[in-house]
Structure 1
């Protein structure tokens, strides 16, 4: 007798949690120094202490934004996998593992044409993000994933 299939944890989750735990330790230490400066009472130290306390707030905010994006990207990947539309990394590679540049450019052009025909499709933006990644343009890949995430509407569970 078996129940519903167990959902597998994403591959990079353990590493992300470990790095986040180390970052939390760093934030704790920085916040402690900031509070100590505030308690000192000297106007200069209070000003520096307030400035130091901004750092942990920024770090917490940035980490939260990245985890939210990662969760949405995973939901998009799950939706594409269920529809049989998940991108496949089948580009030819050199013996050293580098993607063949001409093949990456050709794949990119196909994905760009798909997006031109359907600019409001989160699926097209998702596929374009992976084409950018294969072409080595990580900055544009992340921007395309953010656009896909903004357009994505999660399927309603029954």
Structure 2
């Protein structure tokens, strides 16, 4: 719960900063000077892109949490079977072994969102965040009901 609260606090601060930048951009555009208008347009477009990315990040989180809740209700969440170092880090060989098993499951059932969800967790445990996110997005797309 702490991380969720922290995320929303930071998102609110980011949106406030975007609002300030947009306000300043409008002020620059009102000068009528070509440089002011150009910078003002950029000051409106860039926060717009930021809001778009923020929205998609929130949606991704909501959808992946919904899949996790459904999988938990079914008893299908992956069990943490990873070996850890005394410092708490995941042992690389252990993560690789679990990953190989999850990848084989995904290849055997390519249309099952559950195996792709578990594969995404394996990617995350292996430290490959970009592939974990892409795989989770695939699991979300495979899920039969919209979230």
**TM-score of the two chains, using structure 2 as the length reference:** 0.94
**TM-score of the two chains, using structure 1 as the length reference:** 0.88
How do 1:33-112 and structure 2 match up within 5 A? Answer: 33-112=24-103
Aligned residue for 1:131?
122
Aligned residue for 1:7?
none
Question: Does structure 2 retain, via aligned residues, the 8 Å contact 1:75–1:154?
Answer: no
Question: Does structure 2 retain, via aligned residues, the 8 Å contact 1:122–1:148?
Answer: yes
Q: 1:145 aligns with which of 112, 136, 141?
A: 136
Q: Deviations over 1:26-62 (max 9, x none)?
A: 1011111111111111122112211111011111111
Q: Which has the higher helix share?
A: 2
CA RMSD in angstroms, aligned pairs only: 1.6
Q: Deviations over 1:88-125 (max 9, x none)?
A: 22311001111111111110000000000011111111
Q: 5+ unaligned residues in a row in structure 1: which ranges?
A: 1-9
SS at match of 1:23: helix
Q: 5+ unaligned residues in a row in structure 2: which ranges?
A: none
Aligned residue for 1:20?
11
Aligned residues: 147
Pairwise CA distance, 1:78: 0.8
Runs of 4 or more, structure 1, over 3 Å off, are none
